[in-house]
Chain A
Amino acid sequence: MDELNEEGVKRLLEEVYALPIQEEYGVNGVARLKQLALGLDQIYRHLAYEKLSGGLTVLCSLDDDAELVAGEELLRLAPEDLPAYVEEVATIQILPDGSLLLIPSASDPLGFAKQAVVYHFDGADNFVYGGALQRVINIGPLPSIFGTPTFFLLEKALEAYRHQHALHSQCPILKAGLWSDERRWFLANSPEDVAQDSLHNYLRTTLRGIREVRREQKVDKRPVDLKVSWALVPRIAYIEIKWMGQSTDPENTKISTTLNVAAAKKGAKQLADYLDDNKQEAATYDTIGHLVVFDARRRGLKFDSATLSAIDGRYYRPREVAYNPAFDKSRSDFARPLRFFLEPAQVDE
């Protein structure tokens, strides 16, 4: 059995933001923190992060009766009414009954800290303690750990990832590591590691009813990129991740690898072989394979190209790979392959 390493656990203390809040406000502070977190989930289900470019301050008073948010524009409303009143910036108090006090303007989050547990969003999560804004370590795929959408079906989760995390590289892991240039024309060296990291992190924080999502599972000595195992049913999904496009060398001085549909087709064959191997070894599990292809192809692009037209940049967006054989048609343990087209950030319209 794995034992805990005490020094390692000490290093994790800074990730547990409930600790400094408990030390500063006592047990009541933790209760307010949970109330605040519940309110944040509600708020983020109705307000998009992109709408909050001017910042969002949310607080939960230590005293149930104290109304700390005030001003001429003050509104009392339900979370679902927020989109009608919030543009770019807001200050919100969560009341004990779940309703909200809103002023659609900025406030100094530190100014509430003596009377409330205070959260502030400035593109990332912060809480106020120790007299300052303190960043929360974000283990999720979105700018905030609060209000993360969750899914019961892997297929739905993958579809959502495709549109909301991959298409414009919204996932912070993709944004930080997948590209060699800010225009998102060329992939960085070894992009498969970043793609695996991103999808692994996304699934482990959004997919419900599962036991775990693990990376690099060995099946008959050959790796499959991700393995998802369910908790109460003997079910396993293997996810094979491939990419298409042009990746640069580590120094970003030239194109080092170009992959096209052949890579996707090779991935399909590999996955089918993995599933065959697994069938003999784990006959008791209901097993399904998913092929996921990150598609960063740009038509006619060369390393020294100065421009990329919108037509060439998005040429491959609607063009699916024609697999032959089509394993998803011929076998029941092979899901329909998914292609995640990755939009360039800069094109000449």
Chain B
Amino acid sequence: MSAAASFDALRLCAEISAASGAGAAAVEIHTFAYFGCLLSVYEDRPPAEWGYGFRVTPAGAPYSDELDSALKTLRAGGMIVNYGHAFDLSSPGRADLELLCTHATNRARLRYLSSAAGTALLMPLPAVTSALSREPQLQEFLGAPTSRDLLDEVGVDAVKAHFEVITRVLADRDLGDDLTVPASLWLTALAEQASDG
């Protein structure tokens, strides 16, 4: 099992559950992990450094086999529990997550995960996942008969073209190293594209 995927599954389960007040759906964990990976691309990190890859399902959603495997393992081990349509952390899962957050290897990715999941605190959670569905490669492959890998060279170029616009618009702003504002602005722009048809 991918250690990065396992950590991301735990952390996103905790953050999405807190934002929603009603657990985290599997699709939300996959989507916010992909969003976290995109935010690392925003900072010019190659997607290969994320630790695991994503593909798009025929229904147009980002999906990671490693993340799916991690969720299954965590569930079998009692680290996460299933409530109806959603997951939440068990007490051992919370304790494990607390420990994992102190590991140097996880601290860097924590920033991306928290910035991604934090957007669901600032706007309704379904509005975030709906806006992300307008991400260039997810749009490109919607309805494709087979699953396709995301963030290949063409995909990275398309996302970076978006991020260059966001960077230019925020160029004069003092944002520190927090990614919440660029993440929120990009989502707002994607949502605007959706409402324009």
Contacts and interface: CB of A to CB of B under 8 A. Distances in A.
Given A34-B121, A210-B126, A27 B25 contact: no
Contacts of B188: 12, 15-16
Contacts of B158: 1
B191 A139 contact: yes
Contact of B18 (A38, A208, A230): A38
Given A22-B175, A230-B59, A204 B181 contact: no
B124 A18 contact: no
Nearest to B157: A1
B64 to A, nearest CB: 12
Contacts of A8: 189, 192
A250 interface: no
Contacts of B40: none
Interface residues of A, number: 54
Interface string A196-232: 0000000011111111111000000000000001111
B180 A234 contact: no
A219 to B, nearest CB: 14
Interface string B68-102: 00000000000000001110000000000000000
A335 interface: no
Contacts of A234: 58-59
Contacts of B189: 4, 8-9, 12
Nearest to A215: B197
Contacts of A212: 130, 133-134, 194
A138 to B, nearest CB: 10
Given A10-B169, A45-B21, A204 B127 contact: yes
Interface of B: 18-22, 25-28, 30-31, 57-61, 63, 84-86, 118, 121-127, 129-130, 133-134, 136-137, 139-140, 158, 161-162, 165-166, 168-169, 173-178, 180-181, 184-185, 188-189, 191-194
- Nearest 10 interchain pairs by C-beta: A231-B61, A152-B85, A37-B121, A205-B124, A1-B136, A27-B176, A4-B165, A231-B27, A148-B124, A232-B27
Interface of A: 1-6, 8-10, 12-13, 15-19, 22-23, 26-27, 30, 33-34, 37-38, 41-42, 45, 139-140, 145, 148, 150, 152-153, 204-214, 229-235, 284
Given A204-B130, A208-B126, 14 more contacts: A3-B161, A8-B189, A16-B181, A17-B122, A18-B184, A23-B173, A33-B122, A34-B118, A34-B121, A37-B121, A140-B124, A150-B126, A152-B85, A208-B28
